[in-house]
Structure 1
Amino acid sequence: MTEFIEAYKPLIIYVAIVISSVIILRLLTKFIVKWLIKKESNRLPESPVRSMKMVKLTLNLLWLVLGIIALSAIFVDRDKDEVLLGYFKLASYIGIVTVVTIISATLCNLWFKHRISEKVTHDFDPTTYKFLRYISVFAICFIGLLFVLMAFPSLKGVAQTALGGAGVLALIAGVASQEALSNLVGGIFIVSFKPFKIGDVIKITDTMVGTVTDITLRHTVIRNFENKMIVIPNAVINKEKLINYDLGELKCCEHIEMGITYDSDITLAKKILQQECENHPLIYDNRTALDKSDGKPIVKTALTKFNDSSITIRAWAWSSSFGNSFTLKCDVYESAKKRFDSEGIGLAFPTRTIYMANEKRSENEA
């Protein structure tokens, strides 16, 4: 045993140094990352814990790969040392670029979050910063990937062309689908021309109504009034005709329609509907000074349609916002129904009259 140790003493020392170095580096990485997470958590409530864990995982993997490459030098011929040294440099380069990319993307993301928070605090529109955050983080990750590709001779030309400027768009067009590019361009158009912004209440269809919560590179997220998230691709929403309830004036005119029977008192029904609208606390007086001097009512009512089994009367009720108009409509339906019942005005519903004819049997039928 003593002879074996003496014969292979340099190799044993080399192996011990390599293993010890890997263990020390992993422990040091764990300690530093834990210290940084604790420090940042005290300073920032939204500390990048996930990013720091990714850095820790990347570094631990790097130390392990470098240790395996260093140990493999024992089992190969000395003429292969250059090859192992090349692998060692390649692994180190990829690991360092990955760590720098993660840290850069994290810092960029934190800076944009800080700016967005300032905008929200001062009641400014944060839409542009939110969209630019996605573009910036994507650009940093994309450039980091290109630098990694440059480490491989077969892909170096592609990476250099892409980093040259015009090649970026060509590379994206080559690997991305037309739909993905349409969504990206659609997102840029939305942020640039601002048909809506984050926080606006928009209506695309009857089933897609809600508040815009986010605009990403690919899609727009809307929170509907059932607290469900609707994800719509930017290319789709960019082509649709939509209603933005927060664009320009916020006041909203709600059509409140009720169908009454043909034998009901139309004048009384219109008066009741008008009174219930005008007595509601959310009603908005949209009359001009001339309308007021002429004595026009706050809420206009009219008979708008003759149906098969009902007459439709409508009230044009204004409110200060879209949300108030919905509440106003629901409340007026309930209060008007109670008044109609007490005043003897019937709400119509579809009816059918069926006439039964008895066929006389033929006298010749047995």
Structure 2
Amino acid sequence: MEEYFKTHSSDLIYGAVIILAVAVLYLLTNLLHKWLLKRRLNKFASLNTTPINLVKRVVNTLWIVLGLIALTFIFVEEEEFAAMNEHFKLVLYLGFVAIITIVAATSSNMWFTRSIRRKTQTGDDPTNFKFLRYVSVYGIYITGALFGLLAIPSLHGVAQTILGGAGVIALIVGVSSQEALSNLVGGLFIISFKPFKVGDVIEISDTMIGTVTDITLRHTVIRNFKNRMIVIPNSIINKEKLVNYDLGEQKCCEYVEMSISYDSNVDLAKTIMQEECEKHPLIYDNRTELEKQDGIPMVKVALVQFDDSSVKLRAWAWAQTFGDSIALKRDVFESIKKRFDTKGIEIPFPYRTIVVKNKEGSK
């Protein structure tokens, strides 16, 4: 046994040093991770800790793999040293590329997040920054992957071609579906021509109306008034005819329509509708100075339709925003109904007259 230790003493010392070095690096990485995590959380309470945890796992895995490769030098023949050394360098290179990529993507994401928050607080449009955040983060990860390919001899030529620029379009077209490309191009069109932006209230159909919360490379996210998130691919939303309630002037005219019976007093009903709309706190006076001088009422009410069992009255009520117009309409429906009840104005049910004929000779 003593002879074995004397013969292999250098190898044993080398192995012990490697194991000790890996253990120390593993411990230091965990301590650094805890310190960095605590510092970041104190500075950014809402920070996503997933990238930091991922970096820790990658670094610890890198130390273990490098340690195992270093230990194999004890058992390989001298002519295999060169190949093992290349493997060691490859793992080290890939590990550091992965770490740099994750750190760069995380830093870019944090910078864009802070910029978006500042623009939101100052009332500026954050749409461009939200879209560019996805472009930047995905671009960094793709670039990191390409540099990783450079280290693999069999894929070295492919990576050089892609990085050279000539193969980028061919690669995207080859591996991407037509729908994915349509969504990407659609997102670029939305950002470039700005038919809407983050924070706008848009209406695509009767069932899809809400506030734009995000525009990504693939889709646009809308939060409807039920607090449900609607995800619409960019290729689809670019083909639809939509209404943007925040594009240009935000004031909005809402139709307040009520049907009354033919026997009811039309003039009284019109007066009640006008008064209830005008006294609502969200009503907006859209009259010009000349119209005010001429005594034109703030809310115009007119009989617009004859139905089978009723006549329809319409009030043109203006509000400063689309959201205000919805609240105004909801409130005045109730107040008008109560006023109609007290004044004896009937909101009729549909009437149906049934005629029963007796057959000849029947009793």
Name the TM tier (shorter chain).
Answer: over 0.9
Question: Counterpart of 1:320 in structure 2: which amino acid?
Answer: Q
The range that moved more, 249-258 or 341-350, is 341-350
Please state how far the C-alpha of 1:7 moved relative to its aligned partner: 3.6
Write out per-residue CA displacement over residues 153-188 of structure 1, whole angstroms, 9 at most, x where no aligned residue.
Answer: 222222111111232222222211111111111111
Contact 1:48 1:106 in 2 (8 A): no
Deviates more, 1:107-116 or 1:42-51: 42-51
After TM superposition, list the pairs within 5 Å mapping 1:206-221 onto structure 2: 206-221=206-221
8 Å CA contact retained: 1:203, 1:242: yes
1:200, 1:212 within 8 Å by CA — same for their partners in 2?
Answer: yes
Q: Distance in 2 between matches of 1:173 and 1:153?
A: 25
> Does the aligned pair in 2 maintain the 1:37–1:47 contact within 8 Å?
no
Residue aligning to 2:322: 322
Matched, 1:69 2:66: no
Q: Give 1:217's aligned amino acid.
A: L
Q: Hey, what does 2:84 align to over in structure 1?
A: 84
**Number of the residue aligned with 1:353:** 353
Residue of structure 1 in register with 2:24 after alignment: 24
Displacement of 1:283 after TM fit?
A: 1.1
Matching residue of 1:161: 161
Q: Distance in 2 between matches of 1:79 and 1:348?
A: 100
1:132 is matched with 132
Sort the Cα spacing of 1:277 and 1:47 in 2 relative to 1 into closer, same or farther, 3 A.
closer
Matches within 5 A, 1:1-366: 1-47=1-47, 49-359=49-359
Q: Alignment partner of 1:105: what SS? A: helix
Secondary structure, aligned partner of 2:241? coil
**Bigger mean CA deviation after superposition, 147-156 or 343-352:** 343-352
Q: CA deviation at 1:358?
A: 4.3
Q: Distance in 2 between matches of 1:27 and 1:280?
A: 67
Identical aligned residues as a percent? 58
Q: What is the TM-score normalised by the length of structure 2?
A: 0.94
| Most deviating of 143-152 and 281-290 | 281-290
8 Å contact kept, 1:62–1:91: yes
Give per-residue Cα distances to partners, 1:229-264, cap 9 Å, x unaligned. Answer: 111111111221111111111110000111222222
TM-score, with length taken from structure 1: 0.93
Runs of 5+ consecutive residues of structure 1 not aligned to the other structure: none
RMSD of Structure 2 on Structure 1 (CA)? 2.0
CA distance in 2, matches of 1:359, 1:20: 110
What displacement does 1:95 show? 0.5
Q: CA distance change for structure 1 residues 170 and 349 in 2, over 3 Å: closer, same or farther?
A: farther
Aligned residue type for 1:94: L
Q: Do the aligned partners of 1:202 and 1:242 also contact (CA within 8 Å) in 2?
A: yes
Q: Are residues 264 and 166 of structure 1, via their aligned partners in 2, closer, same or farther at CA, if it must alter by over 3 Å?
A: farther
Distance 2:100 2:170 in 1: 26
Distance in 2 (CA, whole Å) between partners of 1:3 and 1:308 is 114
* Counterpart Cα distance in 2 of 1:181 and 1:227: 30
Distance 1:47 1:343 in 2: 60
SS for the counterpart of 1:89 is helix
Which amino acid letter does the alignment assign opposite residue 23 of structure 2?
I
Q: Distance in 1 between matches of 2:146 and 2:271?
A: 72
Amino acid at match of 1:228: R
The answer on whether the counterparts of 1:305 and 1:311 sit within 8 Å (CA) in structure 2 is yes
Offset of 1:147 from its aligned partner? 0.5
Structure 1 distance, partners of 2:307, 2:13, is 98
Matched residue count:
363
Q: Distance in 1 between matches of 2:360 and 2:12?
A: 117
- Taking the aligned partners of 2:180 and 2:207, their CA distance within structure 1 comes to 25
Q: After superposition, what is the alpha-carbon deviation per residue over 1:198-246, rounded to whole angstroms, capped at 9, x for unaligned?
A: 1111111122111111111111111111211111111111221111111
- Give the Cα–Cα distance (whole angstroms) in 2 for the partners of residues 137 and 223 of structure 1: 24
Deviation at 1:47, TM superposition (A): 4.2
CA contact (8 A) 1:303 1:314 kept: yes
Give the deviation of 1:331 after TM superposition: 0.9
- Name the SS for the 1:202 alignment partner: strand
Local SS of the residue matching 1:226: coil
Mark the CA change 1:8 to 1:357 in structure 2 (over 3 Å): closer, same or farther.
farther
